[in-house]
Amino acid sequence: MSHSTTPGSWDGPWYRVHTEQFEAAFLPDAGEDLESVDNVDVFVDFKDGSRRSATIITLAQVEIPMKRWVASGEARAGRYFCCSNGLIVRDAGISNMTQVLTGPIENGEFTQILQRLDD
């Protein structure tokens, strides 16, 4: 697996990052450099036992299909992008994505951003 300055650990295919407020379990591609991850599923476990999830994707990765759709006509010729349970971030990397998650969690917006998972 790739090495990173991200403070986390591998658990099978999952890369887990622990913070004071939550644990985030990222599912990067095998061998992917953690600080280059630009499209990843994440499951967030909170201290109260609740769970939420999201697909985190960078602006650069969103632009790729949008450009392709201009020619294909999809999404009104690439004029919009949507994905269920999506969180778009400016910069790649697990450490950046963890920092981004911290903001909405600290200010209470996470309920509008992360999809709630039932037991």
Quote the DSSP letter at residue 28: P
- Nearest CA among 33, 24, 105, 102 for reference residue 11: 24
Domain ranges of the chain: 8-117
- Nearest CA among 118, 113, 102 for reference residue 7: 102
Read off the amino acid at residue 8: G
Going from the C-alpha of 117 to that of each of 38, 44, 54, 71, 108, the distances in angstroms are: 23, 10, 10, 37, 17
pTM of this structure = 0.87
- Nearest CA among 38, 4, 40, 9 for reference residue 23: 9
| pLDDT tens figures, 2-40 | 444 457 999 999 999 999 999 999 999 999 999 999 999
List beta partners, residue 45. 23, 51
Going from the C-alpha of 35 to that of each of 11, 18, 107, the distances in angstroms are: 18, 17, 25
| pLDDT tens figures, 37-81 | 999 999 999 999 999 999 999 999 999 999 999 999 999 999 999
Quote the DSSP letter at residue 84: T
